[in-house]
């Protein structure tokens, strides 16, 4: 019933459901696949550079000058990861992704760990991307500044509704804005470099500010503290890698040769992403973009702190202002394209999350009914869970990207590292199997790449853990741990049940109950009862009784009279009910029956009304429902519910059928 209400509400909110599977089986050419799977990875250049800059800024302006080197380091990791995933793509074209790789090669514990990490990541992808998108919106529309949390919230809600409504991105919808984004960023970089060469490149709005280093860094970036800060900057910048794995989950959707095309797309992605990253960091330095965690305390203008209400814009928008001029058309294009790409990035999470959920359900880590991929139920639940999680984070951290980033990266690198380790194992096995030296050579090459990848990502993971744990990463880790436990116990439960229900020697598939004893529940003599009667008789039981409970003498008399008037060839037993209660007398009757002939099968026929409106459920079938629930606890008793479709049910049937 409750569900019915929910559905009613849902129907209003998200309209009639339509098939999600329409596009599920169209295969994508590279030029479409790239934008679809790349938006997540590419969009991270919208916040990664800022994180590098503002972390270094803690040690003053001199430290910021090191940012290109940090960026370089990030790029190296990025390209290594891309190289490694190109191996994954060839080895696992099924699209199982990191979870499958870890599961197959490292065992279920590892698999479950990766699964938990990925689930948390999806949530964070939405939270971070939407918060960042909100920030970009406020740089275009400054009057909205301070409302980021509200904007991000609304964004998530809308995205959730859109996805519930069941719109799968048609490739083209994604392609165009993604390409605009690439073009605008790379274009901006080009123009910027040209200006720099020709000495026309201006200064960023924040260039005039002097940065107040934190007390512990008054000597600049030196000593242990300095090294630590450097690592922190690096691991924040590593946020640029989030979403790289997306393609490896999408291999099945590629045109043939799937793996090869996927690998090429992955390479393209890596090259473009690093180009963008390099460009932005170069221009940020060339135009002296200054970004800090807290402008009020860390910035000085001519020795004095800034006046209230200075709005710090992200690097990309500051660069766009400098290169194209504030308020110019190209400026708005860059900012808009960035905002849109960020929304798309979160949308990819909305597609990926339920899919991963269904895979986990298949392996028995989530409720079974979620396992069918296209399935609405699975999809809706996934979308709702994801949206809820993201909203909690956005509100808890007030849509502060910098804070959210601290939670983000740890999960990403857990799955990176795990899957690389898995791949090493994988190649190891392959190597044992194959004799052909050419093949062996290729395998060894792949394994080397994955080993490097493992070393690199493992190192980053350690750095991230060290530098970010207290910053908030512990929250993400805790969430993963909880998810791990939940999924683990669900699986344990399924396994126990399977053991309990396994067919064993003493379960004999041929043994039949000696006799079938049918019981028909009668309240009033109406069409549904007659139908139930007919069905009961049609199944030719060894014995058939009709019973009615004597709640009110008048009603009972009427019932008996009607029964006789129709000359129904079945005896009608009236059960006394001292306390005018329905369920108990029936249960007593059934239990006695069982006692008298334990080896018989008792079939209880219950006429049921099929209604259309949710409130009709409240006024019908409630007693039937309670009787059924009670009967289910009696072994040797089967409940046969004979539906009668009320006129009002026809409307509901139509809805059912579309679903």
Q: Which of residues 536-555 bind its own copies (CB under 8 A)?
A: 537-541, 551-552
The neighbour count for residue 340, using CB atoms within 10 Å, is: 19
DSSP SS3 for 17: coil
Tokens 């519930």 identify what position? 164
Subset of 83-102 contacting its own copies (CB under 8 A): none
Candidate list 375, 401, 402, 417; residue touching its own copies; CB under 8 A: 375
Rounded Cα distance, 470 and 477, in Å: 11
Pattern 465-494, binding to its own copies, x per CB under 8 A? -------------------------x--xx
Toward its own copies, which CB reaches closer, 507 or 592?
507
- Strand pairing partners for 195? none
Taking Cα atoms as reference points, which of 459, 484, 379, 426 lies closest to residue 115?
A: 484
Asked if 603 is part of the footprint of its own copies (rule: CB under 8 A), the reply reads yes
Asked if 7 is part of the footprint of its own copies (rule: CB under 8 A), the reply reads no
Toward its own copies, which CB reaches closer, 285 or 641?
641
**CB neighbour class for 622 (10 Å; exposed up to 12, middle 13-18, buried from 19):** exposed
Q: Are 239 and 468 in contact (CB under 8 A)?
A: no
Tokens 């996805």 identify what position? 163
Subset of 571-600 contacting its own copies (CB under 8 A): 577-582
Minimum distance of its own copies from residue 384's CB (angstroms): 15
DSSP SS3 for 575: strand
Asked if 451 is part of the footprint of its own copies (rule: CB under 8 A), the reply reads no
Asked if 374 is part of the footprint of its own copies (rule: CB under 8 A), the reply reads yes
Rounded Cα distance, 512 and 490, in Å: 34
Minimum distance of its own copies from residue 562's CB (angstroms): 7
Minimum distance of its own copies from residue 556's CB (angstroms): 13
Candidate list 30, 373, 403, 442; residue touching its own copies; CB under 8 A: 373
Rounded Cα distance, 291 and 288, in Å: 10
Toward its own copies, which CB reaches closer, 192 or 607?
607
Asked if 171 is part of the footprint of its own copies (rule: CB under 8 A), the reply reads no
DSSP SS3 for 572: strand
Tokens 């797309």 identify what position? 265
Rounded Cα distance, 603 and 601, in Å: 6
**CB neighbour class for 227 (10 Å; exposed up to 12, middle 13-18, buried from 19):** exposed
> What are the C-alpha distances in Å from 226 to residues 232, 284, 295, 466?
10, 22, 21, 14
Q: For its own copies, how many residues bind (rule: CB under 8 A)?
A: 91
Toward its own copies, which CB reaches closer, 301 or 655?
655
Candidate list 11, 16, 368, 543; residue touching its own copies; CB under 8 A: 368
Minimum distance of its own copies from residue 108's CB (angstroms): 16
Which range of residues in 108-116, 181-189, 412-420, 511-519 is near its own copies by CB under 8 A? 511-519
DSSP SS3 for 573: strand
Pattern 345-364, binding to its own copies, x per CB under 8 A? -----------------x--
Asked if 498 is part of the footprint of its own copies (rule: CB under 8 A), the reply reads yes
> Would you call the peptide bond into 257 cis, given omega within 30 degrees of 0 as the criterion?
yes
Does an H or E element contain 533, and which? helix 527-538
Pattern 13-52, binding to its own copies, x per CB under 8 A? --------x--x----------------------------
Strand 210-211, strand 299-301: pairing? antiparallel
Subset of 182-201 contacting its own copies (CB under 8 A): none
Subset of 616-655 contacting its own copies (CB under 8 A): 616, 618-620, 622-623, 626, 628-635, 637-647, 649, 652-653
Minimum distance of its own copies from residue 27's CB (angstroms): 16
Minimum distance of its own copies from residue 547's CB (angstroms): 16
Which range of residues in 117-125, 142-150, 152-160, 510-518 is near its own copies by CB under 8 A? 510-518
Minimum distance of its own copies from residue 356's CB (angstroms): 15
Does an H or E element contain 330, and which? helix 329-362
How many Å separate Cα 320 from the centre of its chain?
Answer: 33
Pattern 382-421, binding to its own copies, x per CB under 8 A? ----------------------------------------
Q: Helices in 1-57 by DSSP H: which ranges?
A: 2-14, 30-43, 48-57
Tokens 């009784």 identify what position? 545
Rounded Cα distance, 586 and 606, in Å: 12
Candidate list 12, 197, 438, 501; residue touching its own copies; CB under 8 A: 501
Minimum distance of its own copies from residue 363's CB (angstroms): 10
Query: Rounded to 5 degrees, what angle do the CA atoms 555, 557, 559 make?
Result: 70
Asked if 371 is part of the footprint of its own copies (rule: CB under 8 A), the reply reads yes
């Amino acid at each position: 019933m409750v569900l019915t209400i929910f559905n009613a509400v849902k129907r209003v909110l998200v309209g009639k459901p339509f098939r999600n599977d329409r596009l599920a089986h169209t295969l994508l050419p590279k030029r479409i696949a790239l934008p679809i799977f790349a938006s997540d990875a590419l969009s991270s250049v919208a916040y990664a550079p800022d994180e590098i800059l503002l972390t270094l800024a803690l040690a003053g302006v001199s430290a910021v000058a090191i940012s290109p080197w940090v960026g370089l380091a990030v790029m190296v990791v990025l390209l290594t990861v891309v190289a490694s995933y190109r191996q994954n793509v060839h080895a696992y074209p099924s699209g199982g992704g990191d979870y499958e790789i870890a599961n197959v090669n490292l065992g279920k514990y590892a698999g479950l760990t990766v699964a938990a990490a990925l689930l948390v990541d999806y949530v964070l992808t939405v939270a971070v991307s939407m918060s960042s998108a909100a920030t970009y919106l406020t740089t275009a529309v400054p009057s909205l500044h301070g409302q980021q949390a509200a904007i991000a919230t609304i964004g998530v809600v809308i995205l959730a509704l859109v996805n519930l409504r069941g719109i799968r991105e048609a490739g083209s919808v994604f392609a165009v804005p993604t390409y605009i984004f690439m073009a605008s960023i790379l274009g901006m970089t080009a123009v910027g470099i040209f200006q720099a060469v020709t000495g026309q490149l201006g200064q960023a709005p924040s260039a005039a500010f002097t940065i107040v280093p934190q007390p512990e860094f008054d000597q600049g970036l030196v000593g242990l503290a300095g090294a630590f800060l450097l690592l922190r900057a690096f691991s924040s910048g590593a946020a640029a890698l989030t979403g790289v794995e997306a393609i490896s989950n999408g291999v099945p959707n590629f045109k043939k040769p799937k793996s090869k095309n996927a690998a090429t797309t992955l390479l393209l992605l890596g090259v473009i992403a690093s180009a963008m990253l390099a460009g932005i960091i170069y221009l940020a330095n060339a135009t002296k973009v200054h970004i800090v965690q807290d402008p009020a305390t860390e910035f000085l203008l001519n020795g004095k702190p800034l006046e209230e209400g200075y709005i710090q814009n992200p690097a990309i928008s500051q660069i766009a202002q400098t290169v194209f001029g504030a308020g110019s058309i190209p400026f708005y294009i860059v900012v808009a394209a960035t905002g849109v790409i960020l929304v798309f990035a979160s949308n990819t999470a909305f597609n990926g999350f339920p899919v991963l959920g269904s895979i986990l359900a298949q392996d028995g880590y989530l409720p079974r009914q979620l396992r069918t991929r296209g399935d609405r139920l699975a999809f809706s639940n996934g979308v709702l869970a994801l949206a809820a999680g993201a909203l909690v984070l956005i509100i808890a951290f007030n849509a502060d990207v910098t804070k959210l980033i601290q939670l983000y990266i740890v999960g990403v690198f857990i799955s990176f590292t795990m899957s690389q380790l898995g791949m090493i194992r994988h190649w190891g096995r392959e190597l044992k199997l194959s004799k052909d030296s050419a093949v062996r050579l290729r395998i060894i090459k792949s394994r080397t790449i994955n080993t490097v990848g493992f070393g690199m990502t493992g190192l980053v993971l350690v750095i991230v853990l060290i530098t970010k744990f207290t910053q908030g990463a512990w929250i993400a880790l805790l969430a993963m741990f909880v998810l791990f436990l939940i999924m683990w116990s669900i699986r344990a439960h399924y396994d126990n049940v399977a053991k309990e229900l396994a067919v064993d020697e003493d379960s004999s598939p041929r043994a039949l109950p000696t006799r079938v004893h049918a019981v028909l529940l009668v309240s009033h003599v109406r069409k549904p009862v007659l139908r139930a009667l007919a069905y009961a008789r049609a199944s030719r039981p060894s014995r058939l009784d009709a019973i009615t409970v004597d709640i009110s003498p008048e009603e009972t008399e009427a019932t008996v009279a009607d029964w006789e008037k129709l000359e129904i060839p079945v005896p009608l037993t009236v059960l006394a009910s001292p306390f005018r209660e329905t369920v108990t007398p029936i249960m007593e009757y059934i239990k006695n029956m069982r006692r008298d002939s334990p080896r018989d099968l008792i079939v209880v026929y219950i006429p049921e009304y099929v209604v259309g409106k949710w409130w009709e459920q409240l006024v019908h079938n409630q007693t039937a429902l309670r009787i059924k629930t009670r009967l289910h606890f009696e072994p040797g008793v089967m409940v046969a519910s004979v539906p009668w479709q009320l006129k009002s049910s026809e409307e509901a049937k139509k809805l059912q059928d579309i679903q």
